[in-house]
Structure 1
Amino acid sequence: MMEEILTRNDGRMPTAIEGINIHFSTIDDLANAVLLRWHTRLVASLERGLVDDPEDREEAVIEAWRHAAQIYSGVRKVIDELANNPPTDVVHHAVVATARHDWAIMAITAGLASGADGAGVRVGHRLELEARRRDLAQEGTVSRLGVRPLFGKLRAKRAG
Structure 2
Amino acid sequence: MTWTSFHHRGDVLRAVITQADARRDGLLPMDVDGVAETFRDELTLLGALALRWHTRLAGRIERELMTQPMDLEGAVLAAWQATAAELPGVRAILDRYRAEPLDAEMARAMTTSAAKEHVLLSVMAGRASARDDGAAAAGERIAERARASLTVPAPRAASGSPSLVERLRAVLTAA
Shared topology, TM-score over 0.5? yes
Q: CA deviation at 1:17?
A: 1.6
Equivalent residue in structure 2 for 1:43, among 58, 66, 91: 58
Q: What 5-or-longer segments of structure 2 have no aligned partner?
A: 1-15, 157-162, 164-175
Task: Report the counterpart of residue 88 of structure 2 in structure 1.
Answer: 73
CA apart distance, 1:99: 0.8
- 1:86 is displaced (CA, Å) by 0.6
2:146 corresponds to 1:115: no
Q: For 1:27-80, what per-residue CA distance to the aligned partner results, in whole angstroms no more than 9, with x for missing partners?
A: 111111111111111111111111124221111111111111110111000111
Give structure 1 stretches of 5+ with no counterpart: 140-147, 153-158
CA drift of 1:116 comes to 4.3
- Please name the residue that 1:132 is paired with: 147
Larger Rg: 1
Tell me which protein shows more helix as a share of its residues.
1
Match of 2:8 in 1: none
Question: Structure 1 residues 34, 26: CA separation in 2 closer, same or farther (over 3 Å shift)?
Answer: same
Give runs of ≥4 in structure 1 deviating > 6 Å: none
CA RMSD of aligned residues (A): 2.0
Distance 1:24 1:109 in 2: 32
- Please list the CA deviations of residues 99-147 of structure 1 after superposition, one character each: whole Å capped at 9, or x if unmatched: 1101111111111111143211111111001111112xx58xxxxxxxx
Q: What is the Cα deviation at residue 9 of structure 1?
A: 2.1
Alignment match, 2:36? 21
- Secondary structure at 1:51's aligned position in 2? helix
Relative to 1, partners in 2 of residues 1:116 and 1:22: Cα closer, same or farther, differing over 3 Å? farther
